[in-house]
Amino acid sequence: MEASTMPMSVEEVFEDYQGRRAGLIKALTTEVREFRQQCDPAKENLCLYAYPKGTWEVTLPAEEVPPELPEPALGINFARDGMEHRDWVSLIAVHSDSWLYAVAFFYCARFNKQESYRKRLFGMINELPTVYEVVSGRKSIKEKPIATNGASKVKPSIKKDKPPKQAPPPKEEDESYQDEEDEENETFCGICGGLYSKSEFWIACDVCEKWFHGKCVKITPARAEHIKQYKCPPCMNHKRARP
């Protein structure tokens, strides 16, 4: 297991939460085949851990009693072959959300002014879709972005094969243009929850119409040029789970 440092502020707790959340989403979407293989029912009780740097690990629970941090669900491997794949992954996603909250508020409980910090932390966490919502595809396309440390909103990337927008007309000619821009500015990655950056490649799913960092779904700009219809990992998992 990776060693983690103790967060010293609400912002650091939220950053820790985002990193662990990104790792869990990877395990249950883009890297779900590897995750499933590691959850061997013949092994002992296994847990799904995620770490602040966005990595994940399937391993035995901590030996310390009590543990240094709250522990994730135990024995996730035993139900692997006894449930439909989609139901199994969704169940783990729900338990993973519970674990993320437990770790975040475990850290926050050590601060002074706990009540105000808890409210602030919950508000920041609640702006992101849960792991379950991402994995199951139940979150709406347009979601409110995170705004911390004065971060400004940004424009979404241009969708593959879609021509760029023309220069905006004068306000008096089209007053709805600004509203359209405001809606687009709210787009963020359906895997990691990160806001758009001009320095990164983005791609949109042609099924659910959500946007993704290319690195989060392992798609490069060169590869995208040869994809006629892109389906994101959650949509692919949903299709495989159908009887």
- Choice between 217 and 21, residue whose per-residue pLDDT is larger: 21
What pLDDT is attached to residue 3?
61
Instruction: Report helix, strand or coil for 179.
Output: helix
Instruction: Report helix, strand or coil for 101.
Output: helix
Instruction: Report helix, strand or coil for 74.
Output: coil
Q: Contact 188/208 with Cβ under 8 angstroms?
A: no
DSSP string of 52-69?
A: TTS-EEEEPPP-SSS-SS
Question: Across-strand partners of 204?
Answer: 211
Confidence of residue 159 (pLDDT cuts 50, 70, 90): very low
Distance CA 193, CA 174 (A): 31
What pLDDT is attached to residue 238?
66
Q: Interior CA angle at 189 toward 107 and 179, to 5°?
A: 110
What percentage of the chain has pLDDT greater than the value 90?
42
Summarize the chain as % helix, strand, coil (round to 5).
40, 5, 55
Q: Is the pLDDT of residue 147 over 50?
A: no
What pLDDT is attached to residue 43?
92
What pLDDT is attached to residue 161?
43
Residue written as token pair 């379950």: 132
